[in-house]
Amino acid sequence: MNTDSEQRVLELVASIEAADMAAGQLAAAQHAALAKPAGSLGRVEELGAQLAAIARVCPPPVPQRPAVVIFAGDHGVLAQGISPWPQEVTAMMIGAFCAGRAAANVIAEVVGAQVVVVDVGVASELPEHPVLRSAKVRSGTADISQGPALTREEAARALLIGAELAAELQRRDGVDLLVGGEMGIGNTTSAACLIAAFTARPAQEITGRGTGIDDDTFQHKLGIVETALARHDPNPRDPLGVLAALGGLEHAALCGLILGAAAARVPLVLDGVSVNAAALAAVAFSPRARDYLIAGHRSVEPGASAALAALRLEPLIDLELRLGEGTGALLALPTVRAAAALLGKMSTLAELGAT
């Protein structure tokens, strides 16, 4: 029997509609008429068509109010020594976000994006700050190598936090483009488990070095991922169960943000391995959610590329980033805006008098 939270998740999933492919086809036809050789803008033309399909109109509006949402949570699996960074760094980085001094803040300021930071599962108590939202489901996950990270109810609650925030940002602030970001020491281990669960790839193909761990720590991390997958035997047809068994609270909230963006018909730009893992869960809930996803960049984490391959998405840029926080996705925002602007502002061959 579904809990109230699980029922609300099902209702959210049912509310997601596919993008309007007819509008996308109009955008493709418009590109063929613009003052340039056919197809000469390459994948930027495909992106423009996707934005038109999402907006259900051609030309699509140029996004004016982007926001990056950084969900933060801690991970019980950190006790297994899978990272040299202590858990306290999660809270320290939230302080940097709130002070406007983290990499995500700097890039967001350059590209004109609002920054929202959400505590969905940080192990320590955080001081209040205007930038920080407190939505703590619990103080960190349990150790996935020993048992499930979360209960199904906790995973559903975290998911709904993300979904409701997507709707609120659109309604209250007029946000018309979302970026997913995350912060949580140890979360690449959970991300690897999620990606393995949803892609059926072996752990050695999707486990990366995260914060730059040495060879011994990497081998230990790989063993922990294999142990967790064997213990939980995740069923990809039950995405809530997969999130509860193996995910972080930030992964569940990011999954909700993606589903909420799709329900609100807002494009969402994916970042690195953790956000891509959450996207796999979101698409497992609703394949229609994929219509609203834009791959911002290719992280050097192998799991990120595996997830994008499963989602059939090609990243806009590849700068060999592995930081997270939404940084790579933020760097891709000018390309997204340009793709929409070209369809509305560029001259056609006919306007130039060409035949």
Annotated active-site positions, please? 325
SS (H, E, C) the chain: CCCHHHHHHHHHHHCCCCCCHHHHHHHHHHHHHECCCCCCCCHHHHHHHHHHHHHCCCCCCCCCCEEEEEEEECCHHHHHCCCCCCCHHHHHHHHHHHHCCCHHHHHHHHHCCEEEEEEEECCCCCCCCCCEEECCCCCCCCCCCCCCCCCHHHHHHHHHHHHHHHHHHHHHHCCCEEEEEEECCCHHHHHHHHHHHHHCCCHHHHCCCCCCCCHHHHHHHHHHHHHHHHHHCCCCCCHHHHHHHHCCHHHHHHHHHHHHHHHCCCCEEECCHHHHHHHHHHHHHCHHHHHHEEECECCCCHHHHHHHHHHCCCCCECCCCCCCCCHHHHHHHHHHHHHHHHHHHCCECCCCCCC
